[in-house]
DNA sequence: GCCAACGTTGGC
DNA sequence: GCCAACGTTGGC
């Protein structure tokens, strides 16, 4: 799950001290992943995009079910979507909680250079999804990289 | 700041 | 339903 650290970083999640909302998804593929590809208790990588370097910085956990993203109905929000029908909200959010921060950033370049991770979706050319699935093998392969 | 990739919009 | 124009993402 990607976030620009200038907007919301893993340190912001740590500072929250408990579950926080993962909001602002405005892409249907991502919406479907949020709805269908995660369940309470699942763990997810926290990825910093547009960062120096961009990469995976830690692990968080999905806390509860998907629910309508409240920002879509908030005219003051940058994520406001006036075309989303209140009786059938377009956009979903999840609550996540902090699990662990890596000792160092596992950068895109390192992911790309690591045998076994070549097929990770985040490395695919032109991919722009902010949430995407990871295989079990990829999960374990990434966890082995940063050390303690 | 550039630009490739790709999603969305809207005219027809 | 096609597709050109436009907007956004995000690495570099």
pLDDT score of A70: 94
- Parent domain of A86: 2-130
Summarize the confidence of residues A98-116 as an average pLDDT. Answer: 96
Q: What is the domain count for chain A?
A: 1
Which helix or strand (DSSP H or E) is residue A141 part of?
helix A136-143
List protein-proximal bases of chain B (any atom < 7 A from a CB). Answer: 4-9
> Is A51 within 7 A of strand C by CB distance?
yes
A139 is a domain residue: no
Does the CB of A120 fall within 7 Å of any strand C atom? Answer: no
Q: How distant, in Å, are the alpha carbons of A52, A118, A125 from that of A108?
A: 10, 11, 12
Residue A137 lies in a domain: no
Residue A43 lies in a domain: yes
pLDDT of residue A78: 87
Prediction pTM value: 0.94
């Amino acid at each position: 799950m990607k976030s620009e650290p200038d907007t919301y970083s893993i340190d912001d999640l740590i500072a929250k001290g408990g579950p926080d909302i993962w909001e602002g998804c405005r892409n249907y593929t991502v919406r479907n992943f949020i709805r269908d590809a995660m369940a309470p208790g699942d763990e997810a990588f926290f990825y910093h995009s547009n960062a120096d370097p961009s990469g995976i910085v830690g692990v968080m956990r999905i806390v509860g079910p998907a629910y309508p993203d409240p920002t879509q109905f908030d005219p003051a929000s940058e994520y406001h979507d006036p075309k989303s029908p209140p009786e059938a909200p377009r956009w979903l959010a999840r609550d996540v909680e902090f699990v662990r921060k890596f000792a160092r950033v596992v950068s895109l370049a390192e992911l790309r250079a690591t045998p076994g991770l070549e097929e990770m979706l985040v490395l695919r050319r032109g991919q722009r999804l902010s949430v995407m699935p990871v295989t079990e093998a990829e999960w374990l392969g990434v966890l082995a990289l940063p050390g303690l």
